[in-house]
Amino acid sequence: MNSLRDLWGSRFGKYVMELQRYLQYVFTGHLAIVMLFSIGAAGYAYSEWLKDVPAELPAAWLIALLLAGSTFIATPVTLLKPADAVYLLPLEKELPTYTGRALNWTFFSKLPLPIIVFIVALPMLSAYDIGGKSVFGLLLLIVIVAMWASVRTEFLYRKANEGQGVWQDRFIRFVLSTLVFYAVLTEQWIILAVIAIAYVLYGLLWKKKAAMQPFPYTHFIELEQNRMMGFYRFANYFTEVPHLKGSISKRSWLGVFMPDAHVERTDAQSFLLRRTFIRTDESFWLWLRLTVLSILGVVFIPFPIVAFVFIGALAFASAIQTLQTLRGGDEFRMDLLFPNTEEARPKEIFRLTERVQWLQAGLVLLAGLLMHGLSVTPFIMGAVVLIISEATIRLTNNKEEE
C-alpha cells in the first residue's frame, strides 16, 4: 500500500462489495411491493392534503424543522479498523488525506435524505405561497452547504472531545440550521447573514480545538464497528449474517412480563424463552419496530385494502423472524441442562411467537378503533394480523417437522 489514499480506495471498494452482498437480500421483490404501496399511499394522502391546507399551520417553521432534522445527524463513515490504532500512528500527519475522503463519502451518502425532504416540501411551499424560484434555488444550495458543514463540524467535534457530548453539538447545529432555513423561507436576509456567520464561527471554534488534540483512534474505530453492526442487524432481518454479534439489555421496565423464577413451579423453557425474547436486542427491537410500522400503516394509509396488505406483510415478517430468532443457536445452551424432553423447546417457541403476535394484533386493532371508530374495518385489520401470523407459524412449524 503506497499511501493512505490507496488505503481508503481499497477499503471503500471492499465496503461497497460488503453492502452489495447483503443489500441484494434486503431489496427483494416483496420489499419493493411494500415500499411501492407505502410511497404511493403517502404521496396520494399528501396530494389530497395539499388541496385544502390549514391556513393556521406555520408552514415555514415546519419545513425549516424538517430540513434541519434531515441534516443535523452526520456521523462520519471512516472505515477504520482496530489495527489502525497501531499501524497508522506513524502516518498521522498524512491522516487528513484519508479522513478527507471519508468525509466526502459521508457527505454524498447522507445528502439524498435532505434533498428528498426539499423536493417533497416544494409543493407545500407553493401551496402556502412561500418563496419563488430564486428562493427555492437558494434554499437548495443552503441545504447542500448545511449537510456539508454538519459532516465537517461533527467530525471536528468528535475529534476534539472523543465523541463525548455529541448530542449537545447536534442540538446547537439543529437550532442554527432551523434558523437559517427559516430566514431563507421568509426572506429575512439580515437574520440569515447573522446566523450563517454564527454557524461559521462555531465550526471554526471546533476546528481550532480539534487541531490541538491527537486523533482519537479508539473512538472512531468503535463508532465504525457500531455502525457496521447496526447494518448487519438490519440485514439479518432478511438473511443470515455471520458477522453479527448479539447484544443483551436488561429492560427492567418490562419486568412485569418476567416474574421471579420458582424452582418447583416455573416452566423452565417458557421462562428462559420469554427472557431471551425480551432481553435480546435483535429479537425484541425487530418485533417492536415491525409492530410500530403496522400501527403507523393503520394510522396513515387511507385505503383499507392497502392497509390490509401492508399490515399482513409485516405480520408475516414479524412472525417468521421471531420464530427464526428464537430457534437460533444450535450450539450449547443452558436449557440443554434442564430435565425436559427435546419437544419442550419447539412447543414453547411456537407458543411464545403466537402470544407476541396476538399482542401485535391487539395493538393494530386498538389503532384501527382510534382511527376508524367502532366499525368492521378495525376488526378486519386485527383479524388479518392474526390469520397471517397463525398461518405463518403453523406452516413454518410443519415444514420444520418434515
Residue 123 identity:
P
Q: How far apart are CA 44 and CA 81, in angstroms?
A: 45
Find the farthest-apart pair of alpha carbons in the chain and give their distance in angstroms, rounded: 77
**Other CB atoms within 10 A of residue 138 CB:** 16
- Say what the pLDDT of residue 246 is: 62
- The per-residue pLDDT for range 173-220, each reduced to its tens digit, is 999 999 999 999 999 999 999 999 999 999 999 999 998 888 899 999
Residue 7 identity:
L
> What is the pLDDT tens value at each position of the chain, 402 positions in all?
558 888 888 999 999 988 888 887 777 666 666 677 777 777 877 888 888 888 888 889 999 999 999 998 889 999 998 888 888 888 778 888 899 999 999 999 999 999 999 999 999 988 888 888 889 999 999 999 999 999 999 999 999 988 888 999 999 999 999 999 999 999 999 999 999 999 999 999 999 999 888 889 999 999 998 888 888 877 776 666 766 666 677 777 777 777 676 666 667 777 888 888 888 877 788 888 888 888 888 887 777 887 888 888 888 888 887 887 777 655 556 666 666 666 777 888 888 888 888 999 999 999 888 888 888 888 998 899 989 888 888 887 665 555
Nearest to 293 by CA among 22, 29, 42: 42
What does the block give as the cell for 87?
A: 499501524
Q: How far apart are CA 35 and CA 120, in angstroms?
A: 17
- Say what the pLDDT of residue 400 is: 58
Angle at CA of residue 309, ends 304 and 313, nearest 5°: 145
**Other CB atoms within 10 A of residue 357 CB:** 24
- Say what the pLDDT of residue 278 is: 83
- Say what the pLDDT of residue 113 is: 93
Taking the complete model, does pTM exceed 0.85, yes or no? no
- The per-residue pLDDT for range 372-384, each reduced to its tens digit, is 888 888 899 889 9
Q: Is residue 131 classed as helix, strand or coil in its secondary structure?
A: coil
**Residues 357, 347 contacting (CB under 8 angstroms):** no
Residue 345 identity:
R
- Say what the pLDDT of residue 154 is: 94
- Say what the pLDDT of residue 5 is: 82
